[in-house]
């Protein structure tokens, strides 16, 4: 999208006006400062997705659009999880973080904060693996996606 004020609002407004749901959304400038890249996750039938794609393309701020799920692609999401980490639990949590290739980035007597990156289902699995009562806070970044191989979203 054009890196202009209001571009994000236009996309969000389009979804809400037409009753489509945004599951997650992330946006940031690209290597070209006049352009920003938004990755948006939504769910729907083929007809709905086709309509969403067409409506997005209509927006003047949207320069180019690609449906990542059209081909093989990589999804990455980041998560920060604060967990209660007292006594015996500390070892257990450290082991779990290692298994998932996460990193502990903050430590107190009471808590660890773990940083984890991966596809959405890996992050879901990590949260599942944790004991419910142990989770203090979770913050997820939203999914970023890029296609595999030579296929690219660029001008």
What would the DSSP string read from start to end of 98-121? HHTT-EEEEE-SSEEEEEEEE-HH
Q: Is residue 94 a contact point for another protein (CB under 8 A)?
A: no
Tokens found for residue 88: 């015996």
Q: Of 62 and 127, which CB lies nearer to another protein in the complex structure?
A: 62
* Contact pattern for another protein over residues 14 through 53, marking x by CB under 8 A: ---x-----------------------------x--xx--
Rounded CA gap, 58 and 53, in Å? 9
5 binds another protein per the rule CB under 8 A: yes
Q: Does 54 bind another protein (CB under 8 A)?
A: yes
- CB contact at 8 A, 35 and 3: yes
Locate tokens 């994000």: which residue? 8
Residues in contact with another protein by CB under 8 A are: 1-2, 5-6, 9-10, 13, 17, 47, 50-51, 54-55, 57-64, 155
């Amino acid at each position: 999208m054009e890196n202009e004020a209001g571009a994000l609002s236009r996309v969000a407004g389009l979804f809400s006006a037409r009753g489509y749901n945004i599951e997650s959304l992330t946006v940031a400038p690209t290597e070209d400062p006049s352009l920003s890249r938004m990755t948006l996750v939504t769910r729907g039938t083929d007809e709905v997705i086709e309509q969403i794609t067409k409506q997005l393309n209509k927006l003047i701020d949207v320069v180019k659009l690609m449906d990542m799920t059209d081909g093989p692609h990589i999804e990455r999401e980041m998560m920060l999880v604060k967990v209660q980490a007292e006594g015996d639990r500390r070892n257990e949590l450290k082991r779990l973080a290692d298994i998932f290739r996460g990193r502990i980035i903050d430590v107190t007597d009471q808590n660890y904060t773990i940083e984890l990156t991966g596809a959405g289902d890996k992050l879901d699995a990590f949260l599942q693996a944790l004991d419910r009562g142990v989770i203090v806070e979770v913050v997820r970044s939203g999914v970023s996606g890029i296609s595999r191989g030579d296929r690219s979203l660029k001008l």
